[in-house]
Structures are given as C-alpha cells and as structure tokens.
C-alpha cells in the first residue's frame, strides 16, 4: 500500500486519536487525587474550617482590641485578651483579680505563671474553635515558649504574629483619649501610660524576634483609619491560605 493511501491515513488518524484519548485518561487518573484534595480544601475554607491562630501584637493603644473584634467577626474565630481576662477577674473581685490589681494599675506585667495558666485553661476549653486571636499574649519570651508547648499539647500551633506599629506619641494620644471614659486604672495618667510603653519596649518587644525566627512574623502599619488597618491585617492573614 502506498503511504498516500486514504485508508492508511485514516488508520494513522485513528491511532493518534486513541493515543490522545489514552493520554487524557491517564492525566485524569493522575490528577484525580489532587482534584479531591483541592475540592476538600475549598470546601473547608468556605466553611471557615481552616484552623488559624493569630498572635495580635503591639504596644499599648496600637489597636489590638479594636482589630481583634473585627477579625473575630470577619473570620468567625475566637478572641481572647489576657488584659480583659484580668480586668474581668478584678471586676468580679475574685482572689486572682485582687492579686492582679496592683500590676494592672501600675502598668506592670502580671507574673508569667499566672497568665500562662489563664491561657492554658482557655486553650483547653476552646479546642473545637476554628481558630483564635490571642490579644496581648504572649508578652515575654517565657510566655511565648510555654504557649508553643501548650498549643502543641493539643496538636495546635501559632500561624502568624501580626505586629501593629504605631508611633509612641500617637499611642499616648489614643490612650489618653480613651482614658476619659474607659474607667481603666492604667489609662488614668500619662505617667502610667508612658510606664506601660516602657515595659513594652524593655520586656515585650523582644517577643517579635521569637516569631520572626520561626518565619511567623508580619508587621503592619497601624496608622490610618480602622478600616485601613483592618485591610492590612486581613491581607496578611489571607496570604497564609
């Protein structure tokens, strides 16, 4: 048969169509597990099931509490502020609260072991959460190390620390303004506010290095409208997915 014979051309075309068909079938089989995994990931992220633990960090008045509230609503995750937990103990007049009163009113850090115990209880009681914003914790390297151990004990980890940067004079202005009606003892005088900033610089700022060394650190500009700052933080978190 000559190579130009029509029946040979037909069988060559038929042969290549079979080869192509087989190629696509193999590709589908090979890609099937990946497609399943992608589908599961999309489903779980749409339901917000992807677990995410965020350490919201920064000096007093930088906007941790303000942004935590927004992040909590946006991502459907929990929020715990060690400062709030301590203030609640004080309001309720518990023994723990009474032991903490002086630290808070003087703007000093509460003892590591007490705050670590609070967080250990919190984590143990919220294991089913989709994630959590830890606001104002950890504040010392000891707290950060213990925190990793506590989370690891429940098969969890910190995903990211978001450090909100605001210049010191703006921080003082914000806290003095809030202090007019916050009722917080540590907002009452400029002296105590500057003391809190000093404690932050000397004892807390170093915690950023702890997370940076684990490649879990992001810094955002905390100056601008609350919406702008939220957008910057959300961009960091969305970038993790």
175 contacts 169 by C-beta, under 8 angstroms? no
User: Could you tell me which of 51, 56, 52 has the C-alpha nearest to residue 219?
Assistant: 56
User: Where are the extended beta strands (E) located within the chain?
Assistant: 52-57, 78-81, 131-135, 160-165, 217-221
Two tokens, residue 23? 């190629």
Rule CB under 6 A: is residue 210 a binding residue for ligand AP5? no
For Mg ion, which residue has the nearest CB?
65
**Contacted entry of ligand AP5, Mg ion, none for residue 66, CB cut-off 5 to 8 Å set by kind:** ligand AP5
165 contacts 62 by C-beta, under 8 angstroms? yes
Coil vs helix vs strand at 119: helix
User: Shortest Cβ distance from residue 103 to ligand AP5 (Å)?
Assistant: 5
Closer residue to ligand AP5 (CB): 50 or 109:
109
User: Where are the extended beta strands (E) located within 76-209?
Assistant: 78-81, 131-135, 160-165
Rule CB under 6 A: is residue 132 a binding residue for ligand AP5? no
User: Shortest Cβ distance from residue 163 to ligand AP5 (Å)?
Assistant: 11
In the stretch 20-59, what mask flags binding to Mg ion with x, by CB under 5 A? Answer: ----------------------------------------
C-alpha dihedral sign at 149, 216, 168, 86: negative
Instruction: Give the interface segment with ligand AP5, choosing from 44-52, 211-219, 222-230, 231-239 (CB under 6 A).
Output: 222-230
State the residues that interact with ligand AP5 by CB under 6 A. 58, 60-66, 81-83, 86, 103-104, 107-110, 115, 136-139, 143, 174-175, 178, 186, 196, 224, 226, 229
């Amino acid at each position: 048969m000559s190579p130009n014979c029509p029946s040979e051309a037909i069988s060559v075309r038929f042969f290549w169509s079979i080869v192509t068909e087989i190629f696509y079938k193999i590709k589908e089989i090979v890609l099937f597990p990946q497609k399943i995994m992608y589908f599961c990931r999309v489903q779980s992220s749409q339901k917000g099931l992807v677990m995410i633990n965020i350490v919201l960090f920064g000096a007093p008045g930088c906007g941790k509490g303000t942004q935590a509230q927004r992040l909590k609503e946006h991502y459907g995750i929990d929020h715990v502020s060690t400062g709030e937990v301590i203030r609640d103990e004080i309001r309720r007049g518990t023994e723990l609260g009474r032991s903490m009163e002086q630290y808070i009113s003087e703007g000093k850090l509460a003892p590591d072991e007490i705050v670590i115990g609070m967080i250990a209880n919190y984590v143990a009681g919220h294991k089913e959460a989709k994630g959590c914003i830890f606001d104002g914790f950890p504040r010392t390297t000891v707290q950060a190390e213990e925190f990793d151990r506590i989370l690891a004990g429940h098969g969890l980890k910190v995903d990211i620390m978001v450090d909100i940067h605001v210049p010191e004079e703006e921080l003082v202005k914000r806290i003095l303004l809030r202090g007019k009606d916050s009722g917080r003892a540590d907002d009452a005088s400029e002296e105590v506010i500057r003391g809190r900033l000093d404690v932050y610089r000397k004892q807390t700022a170093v915690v950023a290095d702890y997370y940076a060394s684990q490649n879990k650190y992001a810094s955002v500009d905390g100056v601008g409208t609350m919406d702008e700052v939220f957008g910057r933080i959300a961009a960091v978190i969305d970038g993790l997915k």
